[in-house]
């Protein structure tokens, strides 16, 4: 038995260490640990803040998720105060959310996950002519021809940024990569096990094509977030306001924050996202995934086979509240009704069980809890307690590793505390969240007749699943709960969100043309209108999965604030009663060919698109500055941490 440590897991957001016990003879992982290695404390910073400002602080949890935490935060405060936002604000927030998802998924696949599948070294063996022919073959064989509702405002004359498919183009890329490899300075392609046998699964031409697209997307992805700049003023961390959005609308004032010229810029960015996912991302992913499935590589499913969870996505119209006390309007008009839990999907959809998540569940201390038995925190009464997020506590209790020193770990203590992540639970059980969870939930509901009349987006998801099932030749319950399925679901989610982006943009244009330009409801912005105490929860299906922010307000100030983020669900430490979480389960269902080069372990972890900064955050409890970064030597502007 070999003790395998990967620390840090690179090409993710934040700090993550994983450990595994691998049987060297069989390649079987017999035990695994997932450890967030930075302390989370941003919730403490929220204490006594003005609830109207919390979104601005809390979204600094992460610069990759950018707007995700701001959206969940304003929803939490609005739920607590009973604020109903205008239609335009809801449409704009949905556009910004879909924009984030499209850009985030594209960046994840090409710049974080792709080098687990493709190698610049293998690309040097490719024939540029054969690669050009392969590009045409992939577009013909793997393009999923689906589109959202027909738009009255279709302004795209033809698909821009179409993939190049000439021998000269791929020869030039090959020459560039060859120069990098021969220099010995791999730069962006460094620190990988390029001699691992997994890289031999794909033909050299697939490697060259994917590396070319990797380089292209370095330029293209930055243009996708233009809607954040237009509606929110900047990216990352665009602006919001409790009650709606801060961007006034006028189609006659050329100086207005939102006018016809800027709406045209948003439209172009949205159409670009649709092109990139339809002609680059999804065909590339399916071509690679098909080879893996045909080779029998359908492991790494882990918790997805046992239990997945979602909150639901994209409120169709303006609504009031998330929790039951605020009428729970969030759950009543969702475009994607994945608010629920599916158990035992890996046993076949006929044996799977669905449980709906409702507004009442948000308030029930028996439904949603967090534990710290194996996390470096302590609870006031007992570390074995399970606390509802509204009553959550964030107090550090670092105990060190099992072997090694506090600053140089050799092995973590699986029987004690070993991570800076808490352990979220639904009715005392662990669950996987993310795009894969959303697709499993919608598919299961449809197969069991629980979906009713699907929305256009839900039908889109079902059509996507059927298209991939036809391509792979295996049932959804076989290919979905795997490492390949988790990666494919993210690409399908990207295509879906590109269409959702256009859908809500069209609704925004139509509503503005009707004469409605309201973007914010300020009726309860004044604290004098607030109750003495209030509680709220904000939900959002972020790119990485189910996200919730929980706030308690008292005397106009934030009394308690807790975030339960997707990576906390997936990367959590084990629970003595509920077992192991999604990362640990997935590692234990992954075959490792060479324990000293555990590419498979890194690959299955990166299939979740970890965002450890969201789940763990650094803060000095003594109030001391950790670092000071000068951003402009001429103005003296500083960022203090």
Distance CA 270, CA 95 (A): 9
331-340 per-position pLDDT tens digit: 999 999 999 9
Helices (H), 388-452: 435-447
pLDDT band at residue 439 using 50, 70 and 90 as cut-offs:
very high
Average pLDDT over residues 109-122: 95
pLDDT given for residue 324 in this prediction = 76
> Residues 65, 66, 71, CA angle at the centre, nearest 5°?
95
Spell out the SS3 assignment of 184-216: CCCHHHCCCCCCCHHHHCCCHHHHHHHHHHHHH
DSSP string, 373-411: TTBSB--SS-TT--B-GGG----B-----SEE-SSSEEE
pLDDT of residue 183: 87
Least confident of 160-164, 359-363, 472-476: 160-164
Give the Cα-Cα-Cα angle 563, 455, 322 (nearest 5 degrees): 30
Count of CB atoms situated within 10 Å of the CB of 527: 14
Report the pLDDT value the prediction gives residue 555, as an integer from 0 to 100.
Answer: 97
| Residue tagged 């935060």 (tokens) | 73
pLDDT in tens, 450-499: 999 999 999 999 999 999 999 999 999 999 999 999 999 999 999 999 99
What confidence tens digit (pLDDT) does each residue in 255-294 have? 899 999 999 999 999 999 999 999 999 999 999 999 999 9
One DSSP character per residue, 540-565 reads EEETTEEEEEEEEEETTEEEEEEEE-
Contact in structure between 422 and 300 (CB atoms under 8 Å) = no
Quick one: which of 423, 432, 431 has its CA closest to 373?
423
Residue 134's Cα: distance from chain center in Å?
31
C-alpha–C-alpha distance, residues 566 and 437, integer Å? 11
Angle, helix 167-183 to helix 128-142, in steps of 10 degrees: 120
**Residue 409: φ, ψ to 5°:** -80, 140
pLDDT at position 523: 95
Contact 389, 368 (CB under 8 A): yes
pLDDT digits (tens, 9 = 90+) for 579-612: 999 999 999 999 999 999 999 999 999 999 998 7
554 pLDDT more than 50: yes
- pLDDT value of position 157: 78
Helix 204-220 and helix 260-276, axial crossing angle in degrees, nearest 10: 170
Tokens of 296: 């029998």
Task: Specify which residues 6 forms β-bridges with.
Answer: 18
Average of per-residue pLDDT across 621-632: 39
Q: Which residue matches tokens 């107090």?
A: 395
Q: Among 607, 565, 73, which residue's Cα sits nearest to residue 311?
A: 565
Residue 155, pLDDT above cutoff 90: no
Q: What confidence tier does 40 reach under pLDDT thresholds 50, 70, 90? A: low
What the block records as the tokens of 589 is: 């269902």
What sign has the CA pseudo-torsion 451, 454, 459, 460? Answer: negative
Q: Are residues 205 and 137 in contact, defined by beta-carbon separation less than 8 angstroms?
A: no
Closest CA to 20 of 580, 607, 399, 611: 580
Are 581 and 84 within 8 A, CB to CB?
no
Residues 351-372, mean pLDDT to the nearest whole number = 97
% of the chain at pLDDT higher than 90: 82
* pLDDT value of position 616: 57
The pTM of this model reads: 0.94
Decide: 638 and 41 in contact? Cβ < 8 Å.
Answer: no
- Over residues 149-163, mean pLDDT: 79
Q: Is pLDDT above 70 for 620?
A: no
How distant is the alpha carbon of residue 343 from its chain centre? 21
Tokens of 224: 């996708």
What confidence tier does 519 reach under pLDDT thresholds 50, 70, 90? very high
Residue 440 has pLDDT above 90, yes or no: yes
Residue-level pLDDT at 635 = 33
Give the chain's mean pLDDT.
92
Eight-state DSSP code of residue 162 = P
Question: How much of the chain, in percent, has pLDDT values that exceed 70?
Answer: 95
2-365+429-640: which CATH architecture?
Orthogonal Bundle (1.10)
Please state the rounded mean pLDDT for residues 181-193. 81
| Closest C-alpha to 213, from 283, 270, 151 | 283
List residues bridging with 29 in a β-sheet: 22
pLDDT of residue 621: 43
Two tokens at 539? 């939900």
């Amino acid at each position: 038995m070999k003790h395998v440590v990967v620390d840090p897991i690179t090409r993710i957001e934040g700090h993550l260490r994983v450990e595994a016990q691998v049987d060297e003879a069989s390649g079987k992982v017999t035990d695994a640990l997932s450890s967030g290695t930075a302390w989370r404390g941003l919730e403490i910073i929220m204490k006594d803040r003005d609830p109207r400002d919390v979104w601005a602080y809390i979204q600094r949890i992460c610069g990759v998720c950018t707007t995700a935490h701001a959206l969940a935060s304003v929803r939490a405060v609005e739920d607590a105060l009973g604020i109903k936002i205008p239609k335009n604000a809801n449409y704009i927030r949905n556009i910004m959310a879909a924009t984030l998802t499209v850009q985030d998924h594209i960046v994840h696949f090409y710049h974080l996950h792709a080098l687990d599948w493709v190698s610049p070294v293998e690309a040097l063996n490719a024939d540029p002519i054969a690669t050009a022919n392969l590009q045409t073959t992939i577009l013909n064989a793997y393009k999923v021809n689906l589109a959202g509702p027909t738009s009255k405002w279709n302004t795209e004359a033809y698909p821009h940024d179409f993939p190049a498919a000439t021998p000269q183009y791929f020869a030039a890329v090959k020459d560039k990569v060859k120069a990098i490899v021969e220099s010995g300075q791999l730069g962006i392609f460094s620190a990988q096990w390029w001699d691992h046998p997994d890289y031999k699964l794909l033909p050299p031409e697939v490697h060259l094509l994917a590396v070319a697209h990797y380089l292209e997307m370095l330029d293209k992805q930055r243009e996708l977030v233009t809607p954040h700049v237009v509606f929110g003023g900047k990216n990352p961390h665009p602006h919001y306001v409790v009650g709606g959005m801060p961007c006034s609308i006028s189609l006659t004032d050329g100086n207005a924050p939102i006018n016809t010229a800027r709406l045209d810029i948003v439209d172009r960015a949205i159409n670009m996202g649709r092109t990139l996912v339809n002609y680059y991302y999804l065909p590339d992913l399916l071509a690679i995934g098909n080879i893996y499935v045909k080779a029998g590589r359908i492991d790494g499913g882990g918790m997805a086979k046992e239990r997945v969870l979602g909150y639901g996505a994209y409120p169709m119209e303006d609504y009031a509240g998330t929790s039951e006390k605020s009428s729970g309007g969030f759950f009543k008009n969702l475009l994607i009704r994945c608010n629920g839990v599916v158990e035992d999907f890996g046993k076949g959809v006929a044996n799977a069980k669905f449980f709906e998540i409702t507004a009442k569940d948000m308030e029930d201390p028996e439904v949603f809890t967090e534990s710290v038995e194996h996390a470096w925190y302590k609870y006031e009464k007992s570390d074995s307690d399970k606390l509802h997020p509204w009553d959550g506590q964030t107090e550090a209790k670092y105990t060190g590793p099992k072997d090694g020193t506090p600053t140089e770990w050799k092995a973590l203590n699986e029987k004690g505390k070993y991570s800076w992540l808490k352990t979220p639970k639904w009715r005392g059980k662990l669950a996987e969240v993310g795009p894969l969870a959303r697709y499993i939930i919608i598919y299961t509901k449809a197969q069991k007749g629980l979906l009713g009349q699907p929305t256009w987006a839900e039908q889109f998801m079902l059509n996507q699943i059927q298209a991939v099932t036809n391509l792979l030749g295996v049932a959804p319950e076989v290919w979905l709960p795997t490492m390949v399925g988790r990666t494919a679901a993210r690409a399908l989610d990207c295509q879906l969100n590109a269409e959702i982006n256009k859908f809500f943009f069209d609704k925004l244009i139509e509503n503005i043309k009707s004469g409605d330009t309201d973007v914010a409801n300020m009726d309860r912005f004044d604290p004098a209108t607030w109750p003495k105490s209030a509680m709220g929860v904000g939900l959002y299906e972020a790119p990485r999965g189910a996200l919730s922010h929980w706030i308690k307000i008292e005397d106009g100030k934030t009394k308690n604030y807790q975030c339960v983020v997707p990576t906390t669900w997936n990367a959590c430490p084990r629970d003595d009663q509920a077992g192991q979480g999604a990362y640990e389960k997935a590692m234990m269902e992954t075959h490792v060919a060479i324990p000293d080069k555990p590419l498979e372990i890194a690959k299955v972890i990166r299939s979740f698109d970890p965002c450890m900064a969201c789940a763990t955050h650094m803060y000095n409890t003594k109030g001391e500055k950790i670092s000071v970064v000068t951003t402009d030597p001429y103005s003296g502007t500083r960022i203090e941490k």
